[in-house]
Chain A
Amino acid sequence: MIEVSNLSVSFGSGEARRQVVKGVSFVVGKGETLGIVGESGCGKSTVLRSLAGLDRHWEGEIRLAGNAVDRERSREQLKLAQMVFQDPYGSIHPRHRIERVLAEPARAMKIGDGWSRVAPSLEQVGLPANFAERFPHELSGGQRQRVAIARALMLEPEILLLDEPTSALDVSVQAEVLNLLSDLREERNLTYVLVSHDLSVIAHMCDRVLVMKDGAFVDELDKGALEQGQTHHPYSKQLFKASFL
C-alpha cells in the first residue's frame, strides 16, 4: 500500500541546513498498521507529513497504492491518504460548526457538497447526528478527536496517517478512541501509519514498529518482540525501560 524508498527531508538553507530525515525506506502492506516510535525531534512527524503531502520538499520516492506520487499532489493522490493530528483543540476551526468542518474536505476536493454525508459520518464514529450543529468548544477532547477522525474519513481514503492521535487525551478516553480506530480498520480494511512516543499505545495498535532516532530507523520490532520486550538496539531498549516504569 505504501512504499517509501530513500526518503530524505531537510530544513533551512546554507549553514543552518539540517537533514531531519536521513534516507529512510519502508513498506506497509494493505490492512497493516505500522508504528513509528521515537522521542520528540527525531523526525517521525516529518515522515508522516511527507506521506500526507503536507511537506513538499522531500527527496526520494513515495508510492501510494502502487503509484508514485508527486511533491505537488493532484486531487486523486491527495484522496489516498488523510491525516489525523495530535491536538484536536488545534486541528479544528474554532468558529466553524461541526457540519462545516466535516463538509470541508468534500467541498475542497470538488466532489459534491459534502453536507449530506455529515450525519452518517458522525454516526460512524459514535457521535449523535445532532452534533453537526455544535461548535468545537462545545465538545470534549475525545469527542473532538472523533470529529477529526470522521473528517479524515470523509474522502474515503485507504490510508490513515495518525500523528499522536491520543496523547492529548485522558487514559479512559484514549481507550475509547483506540477502540474506534481498531473497529474502523476492520470495517474498511484501512491501512494505518501511527506515530507516537508512547510505546504501550503503539504496541497495542500496531503489527510492526519502527524505532526512529535522529532521522533514521534503528530497530524494527514485530508483534511477538513487543510482547516479550525483545529489542535489537540499545536505544530501543532504553525506550522500553523508560516507557514501563
Chain B
Amino acid sequence: MPAPETVLSVRNLAVRFGRSKLRAVDGVSLDLGTERLGIVGESGSGKSTLGRAIMRLLPNAAHVEAATLDFDGKPLLTRPEREMRTLRGNRMALIMQDPRYSLNPVLSVGKQVAEAALLHGKIGKKEAYAKAADMLARVRIADVERVMSLYPHQISGGMGQRVMIAMMLLAKPRLVVADEPTSALDVSVRGDVLNLLDELVRENNSGLMLISHDIRMVAAFCQRILVMYKGRVVETLTRLDEAQHPYTRGLIAAMPDPRNPVQRLQTLDRRAIDALEARS
C-alpha cells in the first residue's frame, strides 16, 4: 500500500559493528507514510538496531550505510550531529522499552516533561509546566498535580510508559519509533498504552514504527508488518494469515493460543530456515 505522504524512506540500509564483517542489519528497504508499521523478529534479528540507525543513535563503532535514508524528504546520514540533536525529540522520537531506565531517576516527573517542552518549544518555564500538565492529562493520568511532583520510582510501569509517551509526543514529532513499548508492562495495561499511542500518532498525523517480538500484538495494531531475520527483511505482510515464509509461520506457531490448544508448541526449525535463506 503506497502511503499518501512519505515520512521516512530507506533503501538498502546496512549496519556493521567495529571490524566485524557481520551485518547486523543487511539491505533493509522500507517506506513509511503516516501509518503504523510493525517490525517483528526475535532478539538479535536487528530490529532494534534498525530503529536506532534511523534515529542515528548507534555508537561510533557502528558503520551505517544506505543508498537512501531520507526523513521528510531530506537525507539523514550526512547531517552533522548538531542538526540531528534538534531533530531528535522534536521531529522524530524514540520510545524505549522500560520506563524505569529511560526516565531520569533524580528529576520529578513534572520537571522532566516540562524540560522536554522547554527544549523544543521556545517557551518560558511557566508555559512549559502548563504544557506538560496538559500533555500528562492527555495521556490519561489522573491527578496530574500529584503525579508531576512524584519521582519515577514512585510510579508504576504503565504510568511511567505513559509519562514517556507524553514527553516524546509533546513536540508532535513526524516520526515515532517505539521499541518494545509494552514488553515491560502488564498485559492489562498493554492495550491502554497501545491505544493511547495510536490516538496521539493519528492526531499528529505522524508515522509510527512499532518494534516488537510479539507478532500477534503487532498484527492487531499495525497496518503493515515487516518480519526480520538475521538482519534482513524476509517478508512484508498486511495480515498474519498471508504468512508464507517458514520463519514467520514458525513465529506464529510458537505462540500458545488458548483457542487452539495443542499438546506441544511448535519450535523454530532454524536449519530449514537458514537453508532457505542461503538459497535466496
Is B74 at the interface (CB under 8 A from chain A)?
no
Most chain A CB within 10 A, of B187, B190, B215, is at B187
Is A39 at the interface (CB under 8 A from chain B)?
yes
Of the four ranges (under 10, 10 to 19, 20 to 34, 35 or more), the interface on chain B belongs to: 20 to 34
| Chain A positions within 8 Å of B202 at CB level | none
Is A201 at the interface (CB under 8 A from chain B)?
yes
Main secondary structure, interface of B, reads loop
| Chain B positions within 8 Å of A39 at CB level | 186-189
A204 in contact with B157 (CB, 8 Å) = no
B266 in contact with A175 (CB, 8 Å) = yes
What separation, in Å, do the CA atoms of A197 and B259 have in the docked complex?
Answer: 18
| Chain B positions within 8 Å of A244 at CB level | 258
Q: Separation in Å of the B42 CB from the closest CB of chain A?
A: 5
Is A242 at the interface (CB under 8 A from chain B)?
yes
What separation, in Å, do the CA atoms of A198 and B216 have in the docked complex?
Answer: 13
Residues of A within 8 A of B (CB-CB), count: 33
Which of B87-95, B135-143, B248-256 lies at the binding interface?
Answer: B248-256
B265 in contact with A204 (CB, 8 Å) = yes
B220 in contact with A200 (CB, 8 Å) = no
Is B217 at the interface (CB under 8 A from chain A)?
yes
What separation, in Å, do the CA atoms of A141 and B216 have in the docked complex?
Answer: 22
Q: Separation in Å of the B273 CB from the closest CB of chain A?
A: 11
Cβ proximity bits B127-151 to A, threshold 8 Å, 1 near / 0 not:
0000000000000000000000000
| Given A170-B42, A172-B251, also A226-B187 (CB < 8 A) | no
Is B214 at the interface (CB under 8 A from chain A)?
yes
B267 in contact with A175 (CB, 8 Å) = yes
Task: Specify which of B42, B194, B258, B267 is in contact with A200 (CB 8 Å cutoff).
Answer: B258
Residues 245-280 of B contacting A (Cβ, < 8 Å)? 250-251, 254-259, 261-268
Is B17 at the interface (CB under 8 A from chain A)?
no
Cβ proximity bits B191-209 to A, threshold 8 Å, 1 near / 0 not:
1001000000000000000
Is A20 at the interface (CB under 8 A from chain B)?
no
| Chain A positions within 8 Å of B262 at CB level | 204
What separation, in Å, do the CA atoms of A39 and B43 have in the docked complex?
Answer: 25
| Chain A positions within 8 Å of B257 at CB level | 200, 204
A229 in contact with B187 (CB, 8 Å) = no
Most chain B CB within 10 A, of A40, A229, A243, A245, is at A245
B187 in contact with A239 (CB, 8 Å) = yes
Is B213 at the interface (CB under 8 A from chain A)?
yes
| Chain B positions within 8 Å of A172 at CB level | 42, 250-251, 254, 267-268
Residues 142-193 of B contacting A (Cβ, < 8 Å)? 156-157, 186-191
A226 in contact with B188 (CB, 8 Å) = no
Q: Separation in Å of the A140 CB from the closest CB of chain B?
A: 9
27 A-B contacts (beta carbon < 8 Å): A39-B188, A40-B156, A40-B157, A41-B156, A170-B42, A170-B43, A170-B213, A171-B42, A171-B254, A172-B268, A176-B267, A179-B264, A179-B265, A179-B267, A199-B187, A200-B256, A203-B256, A203-B258, A204-B261, A204-B262, A226-B258, A229-B259, A239-B188, A241-B191, A242-B187, A242-B191, A244-B258
Add 9 more A-B contacts to A182-B264, A227-B258 (CB < 8 A). A39-B188, A40-B157, A40-B186, A41-B156, A171-B254, A172-B268, A175-B255, A175-B268, A226-B258
* Chain B residues proximal to chain A, CB less than 8 Å: 42-43, 156-157, 186-191, 194, 213-217, 220-221, 250-251, 254-259, 261-268
